[in-house]
Amino acid sequence: MSRLRELIGKPGPWVMAVLNVTPDSFSDGGHWSDVEGAVERGRELAEAGAAIIDVGGESSRPGAQPVSTRDELERVLPVVERLVADGHRVSVDTCKPEVAKASLDAGAVIVNDITGLSDEMLEVLAQYRAIGVCMHMQGEPRTMQVDPHYEDVVGEVRDYLEGRLRRANRFGVEVIVDPGIGFGKSLEHNLELLRRLDTLKALGAPVLVGVSRKSFLGRLTGREIEGRLAGTLACNAWALAAGADILRVHDIAEHRDLLSVFGALSESRRTGPRESARSGRGLAPVLVIEIENIEVQAHIGVPQSERVRAQPVRIGLVAEVARSRNVEDRLDETVDYAAVVELVRAVATERPRQLLETLAQDITSALEQRFALDNVEVRAGKPAIERQLRVGRLEVRRSSALD
């Protein structure tokens, strides 16, 4: 996530604004199809609090018909150029490498690809050091909602995204993953993916969630498109609690408020035990966990040759889990060690890096966002050059302490 944070310039989560310059998108098709209107709308979205403006020139609603590369470029490129010139961070919503390349030439920094980032698209992203959004979709827009079927929707979506992440790693491309809510999924499929979003978060990549005004919310609430804001906010609050990094939405001001309140509550949860200690109610216990010798094959090294081939790396960490005044051994006040190890391995293998320090920093950020951990310290070393690291199997140690 380091490249994403570098581009946006502030910590997440972030709001990505939907700006469709199409005549037929499901929610706002035809509203901003002329360049001047679209540019003015983009400025309004940024002013309302959008960190990224996602410009799309081809509808992906169920039953949508494809458009030519030329038509899509004519719709998208002038808007991208003007918004970039204004200093806004722009994403282009396209599955066409030609459109992506022209938009990146114009200053866009993210390509949002509903078809999962083909090798040709990854080559374009690598050339521009741009970030790709890799979405899962069963089928294609014209037919995707015709009886979608899965044996295990979460497992199948996770496996697909994990495979695409590995492929992107070979190109050195940083990727945001998107479960594709509403893209080849039934109501129950969408709900199950949202319920278990933490499973996708464990992949180690930033997670984007796009539920804004979608039809499954209409089925749940009986509301038409214009009346689905409350349902959208409820889903996105849930997604934030599960670790979502980007919310792709139409209603920016309301989601800016959602992020503000969620951030304040999250900070209160993290600092609560310490505040209670300072207020004289006594010391709050913490659980200290140590995990050593997490072994991964990672692409790390200053020379290009070291980043091309995977090398063994050992990772260890120490962290605190804040607990309530109840000092009993409660399962709901610890962490899933297996999930911690899985996240560490996912982050370590998501992309090539030059420095072990960068790897440790990325793992620390991912652990702090995914789990309720404090004072996380991560160590990483290569056994080949750090023989002092003791060879051994994975170890987990835990102890109680007073904060």
Q: Residue 1 carries which side chain, given as an amino acid letter?
A: M
Give whole-number Cα distances, 107 to 69, 110, 129, in Å.
Answer: 19, 9, 12
Catalytic residue among 101, 201, 213, 214: 214
Backbone angles phi, psi at 247, to 5 degrees: -110, 120
Q: Using pLDDT thresholds of 50, 70 and 90, give the confidence band for residue 2.
A: low
Q: How far is 266 from 264, CA to CA, in rounded Å?
A: 5
CATH of 285-402, one of 3.90.1170.50, 1.10.10.60, 3.40.50.1970, 3.30.1130.10: 3.30.1130.10
- Listed in sequence order, the residues at least 6 apart from 365 whose beta carbon sits closer than 8 Å to its beta carbon are 1
Percentage of residues in the chain having pLDDT higher than 70: 83
Q: Where are the domains of the chain?
A: 2-264, 285-402
For residue 185, indicate whether it is catalytic. Answer: no
CA angle 194/197/200 to nearest 5° reads 140
Segment 207-246, tens digit of pLDDT: 999 999 999 999 999 999 999 999 999 999 999 999 999 9
- DSSP codes of every residue in 267-299: HHHHHHHHHHHHTTS-PPEEEEEEEEEEEEEE-
In what order do the strands lie in the sheet containing 395-402? 373-381, 311-322, 285-298, 395-402
For residue 214, indicate whether it is catalytic. Answer: yes
Segment 235-279, tens digit of pLDDT: 999 999 999 999 999 999 999 999 999 988 876 555 544 443 333
Query: 289 has which bridge partners?
Result: 319, 398
Segment 338-379, tens digit of pLDDT: 889 999 999 999 888 888 888 888 898 888 878 877 788 898
Specify the fold of 2-264.
TIM Barrel (3.20.20)
Segment 31-42, tens digit of pLDDT: 556 899 999 999
Distance between first and last Cα of the chain: 30
Nearest to 14 by CA among 208, 160, 165, 179: 208
Catalytic residue among 158, 164, 228, 248: 248
Query: 207 and 243 in contact (C-beta within 8 Å)?
Result: yes
User: What is the pLDDT at residue 3?
Assistant: 78
Q: Using pLDDT thresholds of 50, 70 and 90, give the confidence band for residue 287.
A: confident
In this structure, of 96-105, 126-135, 205-214, 307-316, the range with the lowest mean pLDDT score is 307-316
Q: Which of 35-39, 96-100, 321-325, 336-340 has the largest mean confidence?
A: 96-100
pTM comes to: 0.68
